[in-house]
A = this chain, B = another copy of it.
Amino acid sequence: MLDNLAWLAAGAVPDFDAHFQAEFEKLVLWRRDERHFLPDPVSEQLFERLMDLTCFAPSVGNSQPWRFVRVDTPMCRDAVIANFIRANAEALADYKGERAALYARLKLAGLQQAPVHLAVFADEKTGQGHRLGCKTMPEMLRYSTVTAVHTLWLAARAYGLGVGWVSILEPDEISRILETPGDWKLVAYLCIGYPCSVENIPELERKGWEHRQAECRAVLRR
């Protein structure tokens, strides 16, 4: 249960001060995608709190299209890991020479170690929200689901947990493994747990895969 629901309902107005702004900036800068997890479990209490907060993400038309599957059984986990291994081998085959060697040295999943696996889907046919804002941009339901994933990610970090978003998976195969309804589209497969160590610089930068590019920060004017 969230602490601030009564505060919200009472109409209180937050006054975020310079200290909070600076701490929030640290959270964004330091967030990291985590692939190295300790075996320590995540308490049910913390997991439930994070899920409560996740569902306060924005959603188009208040559609709340996010759907969650926690993957705990060895049978399902092994099938997901097998799918990752296959998709990763196929991805590696697309690279040549130095880039292939570099790819092979990256740690691209923490699926074996992470105590929590959470698959997040968008319900593409939900009646909630009555399709408001979806007529010209039906992808808004998936985008709303991404804001839920990102809310969870930041909140988890604020509580000392790490999150890794694994996209080297075949979405239709994951849906089949998890036996989810046909209208649910996989948006994210997340590994969640306590990180082994703290890295301030992304692994992809440290290992020379890709660096921050100033051009991406450009703002065109029209």
Contacts and interface: CB of A to CB of B under 8 A. Distances in A.
**How big is chain A's contact interface, by range?**
35 or more
B23 A16 contact: yes
Given A131-B94, A146-B143, A154 B24 contact: yes
Contacts of A151: 28, 150
A14 B26 contact: yes
B167 A60 contact: yes
Which one of A87, A108, A154, A220 has the greatest number of beta carbons of chain B within 10 Å? Answer: A220
A62 B202 contact: yes
A58 B66 CA distance: 19
A212 B24 contact: no
Contacts of A209: 61-62, 129-130, 132
A49 to B, nearest CB: 9
A73 interface: yes
A58 B87 contact: no
Most buried by B among A29, A61, A66, A211: A29
Q: Nearest 9 pairs between A and B by C-beta?
A: A64-B216, A62-B210, A146-B146, A133-B167, A137-B167, A62-B204, A68-B219, A69-B220, A147-B150
Given A2-B29, A28-B56, A31-B56, 7 more contacts: A4-B29, A14-B26, A14-B27, A24-B155, A71-B222, A108-B133, A136-B170
